[in-house]
Amino acid sequence: MDINRNGIEEQQIQNRLHSRLRRWMGLLICVFLTWAFIFYIGPALRDSIPVWKELTEVARERDIDTTTFFYSETKEFYEAERNLRETFELKRPRGYGFNSYFILGIVSCIAILAVGFKLMSRDVGTKSGDHG
């Protein structure tokens, strides 16, 4: 009985050591992945995605401190938001989004469909009368 109890206690101690080792390894892996993302993966993504690349270039050109974006009531945040909105507004093509051109396009499509439906029903009615 004593040997069995010692074996169980020894196994429990080993399990605790393995559990503790796994937790430390998990922490180290997370720290390593965070480091890799900050210094390698993040910059690679920034340079490979055109919109992100453009945003970082605008931030550098205008000397915007992007770390203050968390504090949304700062002067830098307001200026950066305004500049980015203006940049994207200037690049937006005419007739982009839900505006009068979009509504006019929808109305003209419905009008074309209505005229076509009316003409098609008139043609079908005369053709079916010829066969009767």
Structural domain boundaries of the chain?
1-48, 50-92, 99-125
In the chain, % of residues over pLDDT 70: 80
pLDDT of residue 30: 95
Burial (Cβ within 10 Å: 0-12, 13-18, ≥19) of residue 112: exposed
Q: What is the pLDDT of residue 32?
A: 97
Categorize the per-residue pLDDT at 9 as very low, low, confident or very high, splitting at 50, 70 and 90.
confident
Tell me the percentage of the chain whose pLDDT exceeds 90.
20
Residue bearing the bigger pLDDT, 114 or 132: 114
Does 13 or 2 have the greater pLDDT score? Answer: 13
First-to-final CA distance of the chain: 104
Task: Locate 81 and state its tokens.
Answer: 């938001």
Residues 26-75 pLDDT 10s? 999 999 999 999 999 988 988 888 888 888 888 888 887 777 666 666 77
Average pLDDT over the chain, rounded to whole? 80
Q: How confident is the model at residue 124 (pLDDT cuts 50, 70, 90)?
A: low
The CA distance from 69 to 75, in Å, is 10
- Which residues lie below 8 Å from residue 55, measured CB to CB, with a gap of 6+? 84
Q: How far is CA 34 from the centre of its chain?
A: 20
Note if the pTM is more than 0.75: no
User: What was the pLDDT predicted at 129?
Assistant: 52
